[in-house]
Structure 1
Amino acid sequence: MTPALEQLQKQLKQLPGIGYRSAERIALHLLVEKPARLPELVAALEAAARTVRRCARCGNLAEEAQCPICADERRRTGQVCVVENVQDLAAIERSGAHRGSYHVLHGKLSPIRGIAPEDLNLAALFDRIASGEATELILALSNDVEGEATCHYLTERLPASGVTVTRIGFGLPSGGGVLYADAVTLKSALEGRRSYS
């Protein structure tokens, strides 16, 4: 293996979800099978690195000062869905279930991993609340200890401004059965129950 190929594999392996075999397969695919695609890929990566940044308002990815969601005047005003990362925002957006705005924290509180409140995009969220822009916060954070701690921290620090705070429901997936659900999922499903009428 050449040093350049080894370096390419090493860089690819650092990407999430790519192990040694996948990195090797991608590197060989680009260099041997589809070398014509390589300049386009390099150009796309360079262009994205130059132009993509965080939205000044919500923390989503943007090429302008605001992301396309914040710039869309047809979105429901006041309703802000708080998510951990851009991938969560994309998943909710694909579902079509939320037509308000978002706020991306870029993580969740984790003292064990050294992630403190100042490491998250919280100041901008509190600014949005203080300005009266947010009337309802929908907390769409993970159903784990760190997600719960982050939700608790947010609700404890909210000013007495009349902002409604809701939490997304957790439980059994559509089509899923009780028999195969783990204890945490069943507990969340029971605690998140609602009237059936």
Structure 2
Amino acid sequence: MRSALKLFADKGFAGTTVGDIEGDAGLAVRGGGFYRHFQSKEGVLTAAIDNQIREIEQGQAAVLGLLPLGDLRSELTLVCRWLLTAIEKQRDLLRVVERDGDRFPELRDRCRVHLVDASHLAAVAFTTGWATETSHPSSDPEASAAIMIGAVFNYCHTRWTYGQPPLGVDEDRFVTSWVNYCYDLMTGTSSG
């Protein structure tokens, strides 16, 4: 699955042959090994997407299961670091969706629902839960979630696309600023 996803990301679905996948996975090219596991290229793509969704959901549950930590900045730092790691793990999948999503709308929509929407909904739950717990008003949690998740995604995507982070901001600086921004957003204060 890993080999197929990487090749689909690099060469496109149509540009990747079963022989390419077999060779990259260490199987004998055209030796039938692929078909012992999958019926088609679409079958391996579906399995790879399902696997990514399962891994991300498990990781998200594990991180959110650590909360609350009792300190909002620590919680935000944990969430941001996990998001950076999770998005990085999805790089090939996201490239496939960007390139071939129109060809496989059902798979594209499954990725949107289980990866993108789920992340945004978790951010909404996080911010509204914190607001309820502390009696701080939550101003438009859906839009706030879009900004929070979007900033992390953009940071990762810019690194992939251009080979460097936006304006050369390293990951530690990004995390610190993201945490400060989210903290201010959630508390209605300004930390500078």
> What is the TM-score of this pair, normalised by structure 2?
0.32
Structure with the bigger RCO (C-alpha within 8 Å, sep 6+) is 2
In terms of fraction of residues, the more helix-rich structure is: 2
Q: Which of 1 and 2 has greater Rg?
A: 1
